[in-house]
């Protein structure tokens, strides 16, 4: 059991209180090692269901299971001590009923020790978000492009690129905020809709492919590090980790083939006598 009070860790109410203030910084992480590295620099870490695509090479996030989210959520908790940890509820784990959502969100909280969960959907999920928040589950909303709806949408594409499409997205954001979410991810929404929603809702908006006016930003860590093979248009590569890995692995392969690795300092000498 990993449940313990952790003094010093960022809480959902603290993120909520950052509305209109200093930008909220966040990234995804799926493992203890990456969580340990990013923890001092971010306000919250999202254990995103994008792990299915990024870690497992899946085409969509649809096959991701609650057990996968719990396993990686627990790893990220062990690797971090400062940031709020938010765990994505995967497709099929919360849409059926408010009761199903609570049962599975409670399992995620009990088995990982995380401080909040995130679920996709606007007006249609408002009752569920209210049910969870009234029962002690901090919920982060997620509107705009909702990747778990890929099969209904047809492709991953930006939302609200025509003014006639703005109304439903604005209503989604308002419904999620009014239902008690402590923050809302706005994914791939055209400008100036992201800025408009940020002005209209009372809780922080966290943009990914949205506006610089959002109250915070998030990216998939492997995308911004230059480790992902294909990335959405909204990504900026702040690093080139794939190149670093290729260089290191090529050097290792060369030394193994030349028998210059391992060197004497990497091997064990016999004990004296
Ligand atoms: N590695 C990774 N990073 C992500 O940000 C991410 C995932 N995976 N998986 C789940 C979703 C999918 N994401 C995406 C993917 C593509 C666009 C995009 O910009 N699409 C183009 C059109 C591409 C097409 O039609 O084929 C666009 O202009 O809208 C947006 C979000 C964001 N999410
Ligand atoms: C990209 C973020 C918002 C996400 O939901 C994920 O990584 O799964
Ligand atoms: Mg997600």
- In the structure encoding, which two tokens stand for residue 251, read together? 């050097």
Cα of 233 to ligand 1 centre, how many Å?
A: 7
Atom of ligand 2 nearest to the CA of 50: 8
CA distance 140 to 153: 22
Binding site for Mg(2+), by residue number, is: 49, 88, 120
Q: Are 119 and 94 in contact (CB under 8 A)?
A: yes
Cα of 46 to ligand 3 centre, how many Å?
A: 8
Q: Phi and psi dihedrals of 125, rounded to 5? A: -100, 0
Cα of 223 to ligand 3 centre, how many Å?
A: 14
Q: Whose CA is nearest to atom 6 of ligand 2?
A: 48
Q: What residues pair up with 208 in beta bridges, in sequence order?
A: 187
User: 253-271, pLDDT tens digit by residue?
Assistant: 999 999 999 999 999 999 9
Helix, strand, coil percentages (3-state) for the chain, rounded to 5, are 40, 15, 45
CA distance 264 to 25: 45
Q: Provide the pLDDT confidence category of residue 13 given band limits of 50, 70 and 90.
A: very high
* Whether pLDDT at 2 is above 80: no
Task: Quote the pLDDT of residue 5.
Answer: 58
Q: Are 145 and 157 in contact (CB under 8 A)?
A: yes
Where in the chain does DSSP place strands (E)?
24-28, 44-47, 84-88, 116-118, 139-144, 183-187, 205-208, 216-219
Task: Quote the pLDDT of residue 232.
Answer: 96
Interface predicted TM-score of the whole assembly (ipTM), two decimals? 0.94
| 161 ligand 1 Cβ < 6 A | no
Report the predicted TM-score, pTM, of the whole model to 2 decimal places: 0.96
Task: Quote the pLDDT of residue 100.
Answer: 99
Q: Whose CA is nearest to atom 11 of ligand 1?
A: 147
| 189 ligand 1 Cβ < 6 A | no
CA distance 52 to 58: 6
Q: Provide the pLDDT confidence category of residue 113 given band limits of 50, 70 and 90.
A: very high
Q: Whose CA is nearest to atom 7 of ligand 1?
A: 50
CA 163 to chain CA centroid, Å, is 28
Cα of 81 to ligand 3 centre, how many Å?
A: 22
The length of the chain is 273
Where in 131-232 does DSSP place strands (E)?
139-144, 183-187, 205-208, 216-219
Which DSSP category does 189 fall into? Answer: B
Q: Provide the pLDDT confidence category of residue 7 given band limits of 50, 70 and 90.
A: confident
Catalytic machinery residues:
187
Provide the greatest CA pair distance for the chain.
85
User: 180-238, pLDDT tens digit by residue?
Assistant: 999 999 999 999 999 999 999 999 999 999 999 999 999 999 999 999 999 999 999 99
Q: Whose CA is nearest to atom 16 of ligand 1?
A: 232
User: 54-96, pLDDT tens digit by residue?
Assistant: 999 999 999 999 999 999 999 999 999 999 999 999 999 999 9
């Amino acid at each position: 059991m990993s449940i313990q009070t952790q003094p010093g860790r960022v809480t959902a109410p603290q993120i909520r209180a950052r509305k209109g203030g200093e930008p909220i910084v966040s990234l995804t992480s799926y493992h203890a090692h990456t969580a340990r590295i990013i923890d001092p620099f971010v306000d919250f870490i999202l254990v995103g269901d994008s792990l299915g695509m990024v870690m497992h090479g899946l085409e969509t996030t649809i096959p991701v299971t609650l057990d996968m989210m719990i396993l990686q959520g627990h790893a990220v908790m062990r690797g971090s001590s400062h940031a709020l940890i938010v765990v994505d509820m995967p497709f099929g784990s919360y849409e059926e009923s408010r009761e199903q959502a609570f049962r599975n969100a409670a399992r995620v909280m009990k088995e990982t020790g995380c401080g909040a969960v995130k679920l996709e959907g606007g007006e249609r999920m408002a009752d569920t978000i209210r049910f969870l928040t009234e029962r002690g589950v901090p919920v982060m909303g997620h509107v705009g492009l909702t990747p778990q709806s890929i099969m209904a949408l047809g492709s991953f594409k930006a939302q609200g690129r025509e003014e006639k499409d703005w109304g439903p997205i604005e209503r989604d954001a308002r419904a999620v905020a009014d239902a008690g979410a402590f923050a809302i991810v706005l994914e791939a929404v055209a400008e100036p809709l992201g800025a408009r929603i940020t002005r209209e809702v009372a809780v922080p908006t966290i943009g990914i492919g949205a506006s610089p006016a959002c109250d915070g930003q998030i990216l998939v860590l492997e995308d911004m590090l230059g480790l992902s093979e294909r990335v959405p248009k909204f990504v900026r590569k702040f690093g080139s980790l794939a190149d670093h890995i290729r260089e290191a692995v090529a050097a290792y392969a060369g030394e193994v083939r030349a028998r210059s690795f391992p060197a004497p300092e990497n091997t064990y000498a016999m004990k004296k006598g």
